[in-house]
């Protein structure tokens, strides 16, 4: 549904805020809980639409999962206890659900079919079909080769060493989960390190997994995974909207509580420091094998542009829409490069970001692998085409805070994919 945002020029944002649980970790807790023995209790679970899609897929495979607000209890069926799905598995809008579940399904002797919404049907799946086929799974794509919907017939997997062309945690995790069912260890090598939540959580549940260095990880098959208590930290990708809001709105001072600051996710913190933003971490601690802290940001009028590229890109890939908004508000030029992966997210994010900010009056140019932004130019309200991409909608709601006039989102409801109460939380601190 169309959403007209309240005109909010230069609001002062103050106070403490918590954002929802981490999406990547919530998905993985359901998946590992399902194939572990015994009960997995999950606290601060993200009840966004993507993670609900994951729950529904496992319920269709016979796993008993109870959800009560943000607490979830998964009655694990063990590594070999999943049942042939009672119908087509619908991953909705979720690439993580599709690619990680495909790894698990590659290890099952039954047939299963996965589909998704129109956005997901347009996202490339060859990147997992290729390694999982090398391991021995059979894929049948119903419409277009390399895209959903597809049927997987798994079983009798061989362990392989797979050199991925892309730094993608979804590809890496898919291979590692299939590796649980292989005849010998499976190794994944990446061009640069992607988020490592699967590795940390597999270790936490008792798998035999070793990181040889940042870009090479091996897993041994057939572990006895044991259900655990998982305390999900808050999602840095959701915190990012408030971090940027606090930096760009005059007089702001915000503390965002209990955020996951895993170094494979926290590239945005380094970028804000490089740009001379006021940001600090407080109360740093470990929680269910993940690093957590409270993030303090305050208004930063002296920020400058920067160049973002290379190995840092996978550590902030989902934050680029809101980093682009930040770059329009600082002095000087920001270059975002080596980020061609943006084209295959929930929308083509190079296009959706550049078209939207251009419509608001920003000085921004698209490149093949990113964008160039000349900051310090005033922004004006405009109608934004979100392509129903949650991160685009939220990034432009933040741009609305510092523009003249109002941003109108062609679809405001898509924030429910990862942050159902996004607009209410923004009201609380503004
Ligand atoms: C995710 C990995 C990233 C990220 C996505 C979540 C995950 O995708 O963009 O939102 O949970 O593994 P890629 O693996 O395609 O980079």
- The whole-number pLDDT of residue 78 equals 98
How many whole angstroms separate alpha carbon 336 and alpha carbon 303?
16
The model scores a pTM over 0.95:
yes
**Is 389's C-beta closer than 6 angstroms to any atom of ligand 1?**
no
Among protein residues, the one whose CA lies closest to atom 15 of ligand 1? 168
Query: pLDDT tens digits for 164-211?
Result: 999 999 999 999 999 999 999 999 999 999 999 999 999 999 999 999
Q: What share of the chain is helix, strand, coil (3-state, %, to 5)?
A: 35, 25, 40
* Residue with token string 């690439």: 95
- The whole-number pLDDT of residue 398 equals 97
Confidence of residue 429 (pLDDT cuts 50, 70, 90): confident
- Strand 383-384 vs strand 408-409: parallel, antiparallel, or unpaired? parallel
For residues 78 and 223, state if they share a domain.
Answer: yes
Query: pLDDT tens digits for 69-87?
Result: 999 999 999 999 999 998 9
User: Which CATH number characterizes residue 303's domain?
Assistant: 3.65.10.10
Query: pLDDT tens digits for 342-361?
Result: 999 999 999 999 999 999 99
Mean pLDDT for 93-121 is 98
For residues 8 and 73, state if they share a domain.
Answer: no
Mean pLDDT for 35-50 is 98
**410 labelled catalytic:** no
Helix-helix angle 126-135:169-179, to 10 degrees: 20
**Is 317's C-beta closer than 6 angstroms to any atom of ligand 1?**
yes
**Residue 335, domain extent:** 3-21+233-429
How many whole angstroms separate alpha carbon 291 and alpha carbon 276?
24
On whether the CB atoms of residues 405 and 373 are closer than 8 A, the answer is no
**Is 168's C-beta closer than 6 angstroms to any atom of ligand 1?**
yes
pLDDT at 228 over 60: yes
- Strand 333-336 vs strand 307-308: parallel, antiparallel, or unpaired? parallel
For residues 10 and 135, state if they share a domain.
Answer: no
Q: What's the domain count of the chain?
A: 2
Order across the sheet with 3-4: list the strands: 3-4, 408-409, 383-384
pLDDT at 11 over 80: no
- The whole-number pLDDT of residue 10 equals 58
Atom of ligand 1 lying closest to residue 27 CA:
11
Atom of ligand 1 lying closest to residue 170 CA:
14
The residue from 212, 231, 250 where one domain ends is 231
- The whole-number pLDDT of residue 21 equals 98
Q: Measured in angstroms, how far is the CA atom of residue 168 from the centroid of ligand 1?
A: 6
Q: Measured in angstroms, how far is the CA atom of residue 170 from the centroid of ligand 1?
A: 5
Query: pLDDT tens digits for 381-416?
Result: 999 999 999 999 999 999 999 999 999 999 999 999
**Is 318's C-beta closer than 6 angstroms to any atom of ligand 1?**
yes
Mean pLDDT for 281-307 is 97
Among protein residues, the one whose CA lies closest to atom 13 of ligand 1? 168
pLDDT at 13 over 70: yes
Query: pLDDT tens digits for 88-97?
Result: 999 999 999 9
Q: Quote the percentage of the chain above a pLDDT of 90.
A: 97
Confidence of residue 120 (pLDDT cuts 50, 70, 90): very high
Q: Measured in angstroms, how far is the CA atom of residue 268 from the centroid of ligand 1?
A: 15
How far from each other are the two terminal CA atoms of the chain, in whole angstroms? 23
pLDDT at 284 over 80: yes
For residues 145 and 158, state if they share a domain.
Answer: yes
- The whole-number pLDDT of residue 7 equals 83
pLDDT at 9 over 60: no
Confidence of residue 8 (pLDDT cuts 50, 70, 90): low
Closest to 76 in 3D by CA, of 65, 91, 90: 65
Catalytic member of 22, 291, 318, 389: 318
The residue from 206, 231, 256 where one domain ends is 231
For residues 377 and 290, state if they share a domain.
Answer: yes
Give the mean pLDDT of the chain. 97
Q: Measured in angstroms, how far is the CA atom of residue 278 from the centroid of ligand 1?
A: 28
For residues 166 and 241, state if they share a domain.
Answer: no
For residues 224 and 238, state if they share a domain.
Answer: no
Q: Quote the percentage of the chain above a pLDDT of 70.
A: 99
**Token pair listed for 21:** 């649980």
Output the DSSP codes for 96-111: HHHHHHHHHHHT-SSE
Query: pLDDT tens digits for 237-282?
Result: 999 999 999 999 999 999 999 999 999 999 999 999 999 999 999 9
290 has which bridge partners? Answer: 287
The residue from 201, 231, 261 where one domain ends is 231
SS3 assignment, position 365? strand
């Amino acid at each position: 549904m169309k959403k007209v945002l309240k005109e909010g020029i230069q609001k002062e944002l103050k106070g403490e805020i918590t954002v929802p649980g981490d999406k990547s970790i919530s998905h993985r807790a359901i998946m590992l809980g399902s194939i572990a023995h015994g009960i997995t209790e999950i606290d601060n679970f993200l009840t966004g639409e993507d993670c609900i899609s994951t729950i529904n897929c496992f319920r269709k495979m016979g796993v008993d999962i109870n959800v009560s607000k943000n607490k979830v209890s998964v009655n694990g069926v063990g590594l070999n206890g999943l049942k042939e799905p009672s119908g087509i598995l619908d991953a909705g809008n979720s690439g993580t659900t599709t690619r990680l579940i495909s790894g698990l399904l590659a290890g099952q002797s039954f047939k299963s079919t996965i589909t998704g919404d129109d956005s997901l049907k347009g996202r490339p799946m060859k990147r997992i079909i290729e390694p999982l086929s090398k391991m021995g799974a059979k894929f049948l794509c119903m419409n277009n080769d390399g895209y959903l919907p597809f049927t997987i017939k798994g079983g009798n997997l061989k362990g392989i060493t797979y050199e991925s062309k892309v730094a993608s945690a979804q590809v890496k995790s898919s291979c590692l989960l299939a590796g649980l069912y292989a005849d010998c260890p499976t190794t994944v090598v990446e061009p640069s390190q992607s988020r490592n939540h699967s590795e940390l959580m597999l270790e936490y549940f008792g798998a035999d997994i070793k990181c040889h260095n940042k870009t090479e990880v091996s897993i041994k098959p057939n572990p006895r995974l044991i259900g655990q208590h998982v305390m999900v930290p808050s999602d840095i990708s959701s915190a990012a909207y408030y971090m940027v809001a606090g930096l760009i709105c005059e007089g702001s001072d915000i503390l965002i509580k209990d955020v996951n600051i895993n170094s494979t996710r926290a590239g945005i913190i380094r970028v804000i420091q490089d740009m001379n933003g006021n940001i600090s971490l407080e109360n740093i601690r470990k929680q269910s094998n993940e690093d957590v802290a409270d993030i303090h940001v305050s208004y930063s009028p002296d920020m400058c542009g920067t160049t973002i590229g290379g190995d840092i890109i996978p550590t902030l890939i989902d934050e680029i829409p809101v980093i682009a908004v930040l770059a329009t508000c600082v002095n000087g030029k920001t270059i975002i490069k080596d980020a061609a992966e943006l084209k295959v997210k929930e929308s083509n994010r190079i296009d959706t970001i550049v078209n939207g900010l251009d419509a608001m009056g920003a000085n921004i140019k698209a490149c093949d692998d990113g964008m160039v932004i000349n900051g310090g130019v005033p922004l004006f309200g405009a109608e934004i085409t979100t392509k129903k991409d949650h991160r685009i909608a939220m990034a432009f709601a933040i741009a609305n805070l510092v523009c003249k006039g109002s941003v109108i989102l062609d679809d405001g409801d898509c924030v429910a994919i990862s942050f159902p109460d996004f607009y209410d939380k923004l009201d609380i601190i503004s």
